[in-house]
Amino acid sequence: MSIIDQRAADLVDEFGMFDDWMDRYQYVIDLGKELEPIDESFRSDDYRIHGCQSQVWLQPGENESSVHFKADSDAQITKGLIAILLRVVNDAPAMEVASTDLAFLDQLELKEHLSPTRKNGLDAMIKQIRLYAGAMAARSAQ
């Protein structure tokens, strides 16, 4: 099992403890509160992913052949979802991140938030993460 799949399975287990949506969303919000803060210099238009409903700032980073992102949002639920995504992809091999389909979000019953029509910036953030990871993997393969 890949690192990403293992982490996703852990999250699915964690979310399995909740039997109603309020507890599930409360947990998402709480995870957002523990998100590693981005460096202030990245809280700028250059690193902003413009959503119609909420906004996301994404700070890319890397460690040898692994990616390490920091991110933030002005909306708490969006921020919680960022925390979940980053918990899965951070410090995983760039190659794996570039090709993940993040299907586990379906099992968390949170996938609706990643729809591009939701306009909360998350869909674009995932695209951006995959692009960074893909570029990184290509560089390290050279």
Partner 1 sequence: MSTIATSPDTLSTPDLESVRAEFPALLTEVHGKPVAYFDNAATAQKPQAVLDRMERYYRSENANVHRGVHTMSQLATDAYEGARETMASFLGAAETREIVFTRGTTEAVNLVAASFGKDFGPGDEIILSEMEHHSNIVPWQLLSQRTGVRLRIVPVTDDGELDIEEFRILLSDRTRLVALVHVSNSLGTINPVRQIIADAHGMSVPVLLDGAQATPHASVNVQDLDVDFYCLSSHKMFGPTGVGVLYGKAEHLEGMSPWQGGGDMIERVDFAGTTFNEIPHKFEAGTPHIAGVIGMAAAADYLENLGWDWIGQQEQDLLDYGTKLLSAIPGLRIVGTAPKKAAVISFLMGNAHPYDVGTVLDRMGIAVRTGHHCTQPLMKRYGIPGTVRASFAFYNTREEIDRLAEGLERAAGMLS
**CB 47 to partner 1: min, Å:** 18
Separation in Å, CA 26 to CA 4, 83, 89, 107, 117: 24, 13, 22, 17, 23
**85 vs 94, beta carbon nearer partner 1:** 85
Closest distance of CB 32 from partner 1, Å: 10
For residues 6 and 26, which CB has a smaller minimum distance to partner 1 in the complex? 26
The encoded tokens of residue 4 equal 């990403």
Shortest distance in whole angstroms from residue 22 CB to partner 1? 7
Specify the residue, 52 or 135, whose C-beta has the smaller distance to partner 1. 52
Q: How far apart are CA 122 and CA 79, in angstroms?
A: 9
**Is 126 among the catalytic positions?**
no
Q: Where along the sequence are the contacts to partner 1 (CB under 8 A)?
A: 21-22, 25-26, 29, 52-54, 74-78, 113, 120
- The CA distances from residue 140 to 3, 30, 62, 63, 93, in Å, are 19, 36, 11, 11, 11
- Identify the helix (H) or strand (E) that includes residue 72: strand 70-73
Q: Pick the catalytic residue: 2, 26, 52, 138?
A: 52
User: Would you please indicate which residues are annotated as catalytic (active-site) residues?
Assistant: 52
